[in-house]
Chain A
Amino acid sequence: MTTLVDKSKVPWWVSNAIVPLVNLILALFVSGLFIFIAGENPIQAVQLIIYGSFGYIEGFAYTLYYATNFIFTGLAFAVAFHCRLFNIGGEGQAYLGGLGVFLIAFYFSFLPLPIVWLLAIAGSVLFGAAWAFIPAYLQAYRGSHVVITTIMFNFIASALMVYLLVDVIRDTNQMGPQTASIAKDLWFPMFKDITQLFGIKTRYSPLNISFFLAILASFFVWFLIWRTKWGYEMRAVGHNTRAAVYAGISPNRNIIIAMLVSGALAGMLGVNEILGVHHRVIVNFPAGYGFTGIAVALMGRNHPIGIFLGAFLFGILYQGGSEVTFDMPNISRYMFVAVQGVIILFSGALENLFRPQIESFFVKRLNKERTT
């Protein structure tokens, strides 16, 4: 039997903290079952995950590196979602964003340092936004649903990039479909370079200063959505298009703006991957971060703080997961894809599975406290 819960009585921390936490624990429990069936000890697996993602400094750095990517793609999804647009195209936008970073870093390398960096970031923003613009335009003025077009644009991006990497911008000294490397002095400072400044020696990890860019982007998104007229208009269109039209707010214009910002944020993943890690464009460098970003945003309730926490969690899973697959021969890499799937299932699709029960439990308890 379903119980109707009076939403206004549910304390915010129940719906925003307790419910996601219960969902997460449930997902981990089910994942534990998988691991058990696969013939390994789930408790040991959890220990490995925790050790792998927190236990040593490079592991922790890896966790934050993964989180950086998820923050960008999570924010990207969230911004579009505030205008009620499902931008599934983060993957393709990130791919093109990386191209933007590379082209500028490669061809404008003669400019002084911070300027090339800024321009390269601008390049990622521009290319990501441009790739999102076409679906946005089609949605706004032709009524083609953005979910369909952005999925299609992921495939187009992938095909386009393969073509470019094979036939146009390939490093001809190499066999593989990849570009030449950008100048070494343009590479983003890495975590180990920074710790070295403080006299601490660490081994390699892909974490770099893009992490700070991700934090900045989170602030930017919060400010944009809740503190500017543009965010206000996007939310208005998202909540009630008719009312927005009544108030003189153009839905079409806001669909375009929201998608441009969304594409730009997804494109910034290219900064982390190209300036920070690969220093060249390689085939399929976005590696699914664009899709996982959707889950991160949904888990984080499309709020930058939630997205940060969600990104961190997925960072732990990625990093801890690789540690597990390393140490447990029965657990394959795909096992952790399944674990992610279970988390997405419980915190996305089945988000409301236990919500009514949990909420009514707390409402009843609070009522009791009030009367006694």
Chain B
Amino acid sequence: MVSPILELSNINKSFGHVQANKDVSLAINKATIHGIIGENGAGKSTLMSIVYGFYQADSGNISINGKKINLKSPRDSIENGIGMVHQHFMLVENFSVLENIILGFEGEIIFGKKLDEAKESLIRLCETYKLNIDLNSIISDLSVGFRQRVEILKALYRGAEVLILDEPTGVLTPQEVDELFKILRSLQQEGKTIVLITHKLNEIMDLTSDVTVMRQGAVVGHKKTKSTNKEELAEMMVGRSVLLRINKSESKKGDVVFRVNNLQVKDDLDVVRVKNVNFEIHEGEILGLAGVTGNGQTELLEALSGIRKIDSGEIQIFNETVSDQNNLLNPKDLKEKGLAHVPEDRQRMGLITDFKANENLIFGYHHQLPFSKSSVLMESEILSYSRKVMNDYDVRPQAPDLITSNFSGGNQQKIILSRELNKNPKILLVGQPTRGVDIGAIEFIHQRLIDMRDKGVAILLVSVELDEVLSLSDRIVVMFDGKIVGEKVNQDVTDREIGLLMAGISQ
């Protein structure tokens, strides 16, 4: 019997009246890849933040190599050989790779021989694990996949024996995911232990040897990956059986209701990010826009929703030009025209996280009846509306008075979605609807989008999740470097083809 390298026993942690971890016990064996899977809000990230020393558990023990330890800060965890690669990278963009890695230790090694030693050991690490990183390149010049490797290298350099990765593939292309998996396997072969937090069943099946499933803060089960399958894991996560592939009928396409002609858009730094883009969306159709993050999708969505100025070209709703370079219809007026927008970045754009849930449920519609009457907010109407909507969309906890930042990502997304879908829009722009959202909620959100489509809504779905684009869209366009580089009808396309287009390689 191997003794586990990392053992958690009876961990409890609560935030306010939300218990994020309930009596969690978990053992991770040395030199394995251990998956932790669960819905958002299931407590995976909280658990790992406790292991990494960000939070302290209310009760319970953590031991490493059989020795009980007390983790008070990330520094303690690093000293105990625990490294973490966060979902959002913690790198200084205008520093070189080397500078980023020694950040925090620079007092000791910034000059002379120590720096050379540091460089040497980093180069050795890169070779051992085939990371292929140039230490002198500047972070902002690196692709997302490489930035992630820098994070991994940083953790290894600090002596990580256990490497925790929080949703590492969310921002990668399929090809980059393959590369990452190769690196993780070679790490495992060299004796490192990897903890993979994810909500993607494919990754668990491909990569891990053991898997722990969490639901509502508690562990529901441990499995050997070999002796389980996707359906079983999904069912454990959600607590009921789940449709992994959305059931949808053929779309009943109507007239074109939304059209974009020769659109060009610049970003805040005056760089052209959307280049001569043309497309149209029909009534009752979902147009998927695939692409790696940062290829102009964000600027496109912002221009379409009236937030960002248009450089040239035009946008038409029901054959009426609503925006061009001289005139940008603002979000308020676009709402009147029947356009709703679920933004990509829910925390920085879609919500005011310091507001209460009920304030966010009316955000952007707060000036309309029944929420306000002659500019006075109608408290009781807002409250009863909020209760009803939170019930309809199964937002948990059902507490309209709770500050929004206390809800999990999936529930925050449901708050936005319910707000935008409830006003019966004719056109719906959706950005990354399920980013960081759990399987149960994904299924729910996808079903809602299909329902909207079947009601005749024209939907633009912008997502970096290829699976999502493939399973929902009727038609797919791929964006690369600001241009639309391909259009495919969904039935006759494979994810490889789209993946190549996303990487800018055209056949």
* Interface residues of chain A: helix, strand, loop or mixed (majority): helix
**Contact partner of B376 among A9, A228, A239, CB < 8 A?**
A228
**Contact partner of A239 among B306, B354, B366, B375, CB < 8 A?**
B354
B351 in the interface, Cβ–Cβ < 8 Å? yes
Which one of A1, A230, A236, A248 has the greatest number of beta carbons of chain B within 10 Å? Answer: A248
In whole angstroms, what is the CA distance A111 to B206 when docked?
86
In whole angstroms, what is the CA distance A118 to B108 when docked?
70
Instruction: Decide if A242 touches B348 in the complex (CB within 8 Å).
Output: yes
B359 in the interface, Cβ–Cβ < 8 Å? yes
- A82 to chain B minimum Cβ distance, whole angstroms, is 11
Hey, which chain B residues are within 8 Å of A233, CB to CB?
366
Instruction: Decide if A248 touches B335 in the complex (CB within 8 Å).
Output: yes
- B46 to chain A minimum Cβ distance, whole angstroms, is 11
In whole angstroms, what is the CA distance A171 to B67 when docked?
86
A227 in the interface, Cβ–Cβ < 8 Å? yes
Hey, which chain B residues are within 8 Å of A243, CB to CB?
348-352, 363
B379 in the interface, Cβ–Cβ < 8 Å? yes
Chain A 344-364, CB within 8 Å of chain B: the 1/0 string? Answer: 000000000000000000000
**Contact partner of B58 among A227, A240, A250, A367, CB < 8 A?**
A367
Hey, which chain A residues are within 8 Å of B306, CB to CB?
248
Given the known interface contacts A8-B15, A8-B406, the answer about A246 and B341 at a Cβ–Cβ threshold of 8 Å is: yes
In whole angstroms, what is the CA distance A249 to B72 when docked?
42
How many A-B pairs have beta carbons closer than 8 Å: the answer is 81
Q: Considering the complex, which residues of chain B in the window 220-248 have a beta carbon less than 8 Å from any beta carbon of chain A?
A: none
Q: Considering the complex, which residues of chain A in the window 225-255 have a beta carbon less than 8 Å from any beta carbon of chain B?
A: 227-230, 232-233, 235-236, 239-240, 242-250
Hey, which chain A residues are within 8 Å of B335, CB to CB?
248
Hey, which chain A residues are within 8 Å of B348, CB to CB?
240, 242-243
A175 in the interface, Cβ–Cβ < 8 Å? no
Instruction: Decide if A232 touches B359 in the complex (CB within 8 Å).
Output: yes
Instruction: Decide if B363 touches A247 in the complex (CB within 8 Å).
Output: yes
A6 in the interface, Cβ–Cβ < 8 Å? yes
**Contact partner of B377 among A229, A240, A248, A367, CB < 8 A?**
A229
A4 in the interface, Cβ–Cβ < 8 Å? yes
Chain B 346-383, CB within 8 Å of chain A: the 1/0 string? Answer: 00111111110001000110110000100111010000
In whole angstroms, what is the CA distance A187 to B474 when docked?
76
B148 in the interface, Cβ–Cβ < 8 Å? no
Chain A residue at minimal CB-CB distance from B379: A227
Hey, which chain B residues are within 8 Å of A247, CB to CB?
331, 363-364, 366
Instruction: Decide if B352 touches A8 in the complex (CB within 8 Å).
Output: no
Q: Considering the complex, which residues of chain B in the window 386-412 have a beta carbon less than 8 Å from any beta carbon of chain A?
A: 406
B41 in the interface, Cβ–Cβ < 8 Å? no
In whole angstroms, what is the CA distance A229 to B372 when docked?
7
Given the known interface contacts A246-B343, A247-B364, the answer about A232 and B15 at a Cβ–Cβ threshold of 8 Å is: no
In whole angstroms, what is the CA distance A4 to B359 when docked?
29
- B17 to chain A minimum Cβ distance, whole angstroms, is 8
- A369 to chain B minimum Cβ distance, whole angstroms, is 14
Instruction: Decide if B375 touches A246 in the complex (CB within 8 Å).
Output: no
Q: Considering the complex, which residues of chain A in the window 29-60 have a beta carbon less than 8 Å from any beta carbon of chain B?
A: none
Instruction: Decide if A228 touches B305 in the complex (CB within 8 Å).
Output: no
CB<8 Å pairs between A and B, sample of 26: A1-B72, A4-B54, A6-B15, A8-B406, A9-B15, A9-B16, A227-B376, A228-B376, A229-B375, A232-B359, A232-B366, A232-B377, A233-B366, A236-B352, A239-B352, A239-B353, A240-B348, A242-B348, A243-B352, A245-B307, A246-B305, A246-B307, A247-B363, A248-B306, A248-B331, A248-B332
12 additional A-B residue pairs with CB within 8 Å, beyond A8-B16, A233-B366, A243-B351 = A8-B15, A8-B406, A9-B15, A227-B377, A229-B375, A230-B375, A236-B363, A239-B354, A240-B351, A243-B350, A245-B307, A248-B333
Which B residues have a C-beta under 8 Å from some C-beta of A?
A: 14-16, 18, 54-56, 58, 72, 305-307, 330-335, 341, 343, 348-355, 359, 363-364, 366-367, 372, 375-377, 379, 406
Which A residues have a C-beta under 8 Å from some C-beta of B?
A: 1, 4, 6, 8-9, 227-230, 232-233, 235-236, 239-240, 242-250, 367
